[in-house]
Chains A and B, each alone.
Chain A
Amino acid sequence: ILNVEQSPQSLHVQEGDSTNFTCSFPSSNFYALHWYRWETAKSPEALFVMTLNGDEKKKGRISATLNTKEGYSYLYIKGSQPEDSATYLCALGSGNTGKLIFGQGTTLQVKP
């Protein structure tokens, strides 16, 4: 059974702080890692799909790295803003259906 772990579970930072969180997954049979941002009462929003060891992706102030050999991905937010407050989910793309196996998420709260 594939298990995806995210840490920390929650995070409170001040506006302007940079922050990062971790997604850990089994390194064998890796295919793809997905990151989503999920604001309260909205749909989860796709951020990145990462497939290659050493991949780095960037979208504005948010970036992510991938290490498939050791089984982790980091998500970084530079200069956090209140609008970055959300739950960040990572998920493995798995199986013949491409089903997503999600971690429990990291909930970020950015205080003005």
Chain B
Amino acid sequence: ETGVTQSPTHLIKTRGQQVTLRCSSQSGHNTVSWYQQALGQGPQFIFQYYREEENGRGNFPPRFSGLQFPNYSSELNVNALELDDSALYLCASSLGGGIRTDTQYFGPGTRLTVL
């Protein structure tokens, strides 16, 4: 069974640029959630995709957008990067379309640095 993978591991961008982060879900999982972990904080929910549709969104601006593909892999896109977007971005897959008791299985994260 393959776990959740993310790419790239690290990324450096400059303010105003756009970035795409990728996530491959655990086999058989149809739900993916994205989280942002800023320094010194716990991960914050960005949004969730279930069967290729956005299934809920946290308190993040529209320049954070996502996609989920038929194979349930996912992308997080961030436009017009700001310095505060520097963080670790985690994706997590689960089976169940957002049930509160479902275990979410996390990838190792992508470290984004915005200069």
Binding site for B on A (CB under 8 A): 4, 31-32, 34, 36, 41-46, 49, 51, 89, 91, 93-105
**Using Cβ atoms and an 8 Å threshold, which residues of chain A touch B109?**
43
**Using Cβ atoms and an 8 Å threshold, which residues of chain A touch B62?**
none
Q: Would you call B42 and A103 a contact (CB within 8 A)?
A: yes
Segment of B14-22, B64-72, B73-81, B92-100 in the binding face = B92-100
Q: Would you call A104 and B40 a contact (CB within 8 A)?
A: yes
**Using Cβ atoms and an 8 Å threshold, which residues of chain B touch A4?**
42
Contact A34-B56, Cβ < 8 Å, known A43-B108, A101-B45 = no
**Using Cβ atoms and an 8 Å threshold, which residues of chain A touch B43?**
89, 100, 102
Q: Would you call B90 and A97 a contact (CB within 8 A)?
A: no
**Using Cβ atoms and an 8 Å threshold, which residues of chain B touch A34?**
103-104
Question: Once the chains are docked, how many angstroms separate the CA of A24 from the CA of B41?
Answer: 16
Contact A98-B94, Cβ < 8 Å, known A31-B100, A104-B42 = yes
Binding site for A on B (CB under 8 A): 3-4, 33, 35, 40-45, 48, 55-56, 58, 90, 92, 94, 96, 98-109
Q: Would you call A46 and B103 a contact (CB within 8 A)?
A: yes
Contact A41-B108, Cβ < 8 Å, known A104-B42, A105-B42 = yes
Question: Once the chains are docked, how many angstroms separate the CA of A36 from the CA of B35?
Answer: 15
Q: Would you call A99 and B41 a contact (CB within 8 A)?
A: no
Taking the closest CB of chain B, its distance from the CB of A5, in whole angstroms, is 10
Q: Which residue of A31, A43, A95 is within 8 Å of B4 (Cβ)?
A: A43
Question: Once the chains are docked, how many angstroms separate the CA of A95 from the CA of B44?
Answer: 14
**Using Cβ atoms and an 8 Å threshold, which residues of chain A touch B106?**
36, 43-45
Contact A98-B96, Cβ < 8 Å, known A42-B108, A49-B101 = yes
Question: Once the chains are docked, how many angstroms separate the CA of A32 from the CA of B96?
Answer: 15
**Using Cβ atoms and an 8 Å threshold, which residues of chain A touch B33?**
97, 99-100
Question: Once the chains are docked, how many angstroms separate the CA of A83 from the CA of B57?
Answer: 36
Taking the closest CB of chain A, its distance from the CB of B67, in whole angstroms, is 17
**Using Cβ atoms and an 8 Å threshold, which residues of chain A touch B3?**
43
